[in-house]
A = this chain, B = another copy of it.
Amino acid sequence: AQAAFSRIERRVKEAFPGVPVRWAYTSAIIRKKLARQGKQLDSTATALAKMMDEGFTHVAVQSLHTIGGEEYHDLVGTVRAFRMMPEGIDHLQVGYPLLGTEEDLMKVTEALLENLPPQRTRQDAVVLMGHGTPHPANAFYTALMYHLQRRDPNLYVATVEGAPGIDEVTDMLRRRGITTAYLIPFMSVAGDHARNDMAGDDEDSWKNVLARAGIDAKVVLKGTAEYDNIVDIWVDHLRTVLRRFEPPAN
């Protein structure tokens, strides 16, 4: 994860030289895990409270989420609460997650196509692994699949915790007579889900589910944040927020 975050930080600093960059981690589990390794990470609330104390007047909070699900909306809720703080940060806004607008669906589709492994042929399927969520925003995975398939009918999106699941997608692959499928994380970081749920040796890992359906799985262990063309979409959303902070030109 650290390499991916360093890449993001570098791209952000290149895009907005001189703008201070801070990191906040929304996941309490990650913060606790890293605290045990001696790394103190700030939650969004703590990071914003500190910036408020330091006297920042304009803060753009850039979500690095993939879709606008529950975590993203909690982030928006945290920012909304900070907007109510007495003597708070005057201008405080959140940038969209990766899949914000309709235009993002197009851009992400293009970026994902560019990032496909060169050895993959059009006969091979590609299954992107999304996180998935019971939140309505899960529909973004399906919408993305629609856009991908308009460009290449053998591209799929399955999710770990939402719909469609890997079983449903495996059915689709079987019906189309697919024999080889690339499994690629559609998450910012290729972490536990990628290494275990997708590529692990457990009976119900995606790799093994496909194997039992007679499909040879080729695993890619790289998160979306490791690709500049994806990172630049988040950076664009940040740019949109920062532009709103600029005084109107005369």
B53, B96, B101, B134: which contacts A43 (Cβ < 8 A)? Answer: B53
B52, B78, B162: which contacts A86 (Cβ < 8 A)? Answer: B78
Question: Which of A118-126, A141-149, A206-214, A221-229 sits within the interface?
Answer: A141-149
With both beta carbons as reference points, the residue of chain B lying nearest to A74 in the complex is identified as: B86
Q: How many copies does the complex hold?
A: 4
B31, B52, B74, B163: which contacts A45 (Cβ < 8 A)? Answer: B52
Query: Which residues of B lie under 8 Å from residue A203 when comparing CB positions?
Result: none
The size bracket of the interface on A is 35 or more
Query: Which residues of B lie under 8 Å from residue A77 when comparing CB positions?
Result: 84-86
Q: Least Cβ distance of A167 to chain B in Å?
A: 15
Specify the main secondary structure of chain A where it touches its partner.
Answer: helix
Contact A146 B136 (CB under 8 A): no
Contact A80 B87 (CB under 8 A): no
The verdict on A5 contacting chain B, using a C-beta distance below 8 Å, is no
Tell me the complex Cα distance, A146–B28, Å: 35
Q: Least Cβ distance of A97 to chain B in Å?
A: 9
Query: Which residues of B lie under 8 Å from residue A14 when comparing CB positions?
Result: none
The verdict on A102 contacting chain B, using a C-beta distance below 8 Å, is yes
Contact B85 A81 (CB under 8 A): yes
The verdict on A46 contacting chain B, using a C-beta distance below 8 Å, is yes
Query: Which residues of B lie under 8 Å from residue A100 when comparing CB positions?
Result: 136
The verdict on A139 contacting chain B, using a C-beta distance below 8 Å, is yes
Give 17 A-B contacts (CB < 8 Å), ordered by A residue. A28-B53, A31-B53, A45-B52, A45-B85, A46-B53, A49-B49, A73-B86, A74-B86, A81-B81, A81-B82, A101-B138, A105-B142, A139-B143, A140-B143, A142-B146, A143-B143, A145-B146
Question: Which residues of A come within 8 Å of B, CB atoms?
Answer: 28, 31, 43, 45-46, 48-50, 52-53, 55, 68, 73-74, 77-78, 80-82, 84-88, 96, 99-102, 105, 134, 136, 138-140, 142-143, 145-147, 162-163
Instruction: Given contact pairs A101-B134, A102-B162, A139-B140, enumerate 16 new A-B contacts (beta carbons under 8 Å).
Output: A45-B49, A45-B52, A45-B53, A46-B50, A46-B53, A68-B136, A74-B87, A78-B85, A81-B81, A101-B138, A102-B134, A102-B138, A102-B163, A140-B143, A142-B146, A143-B146
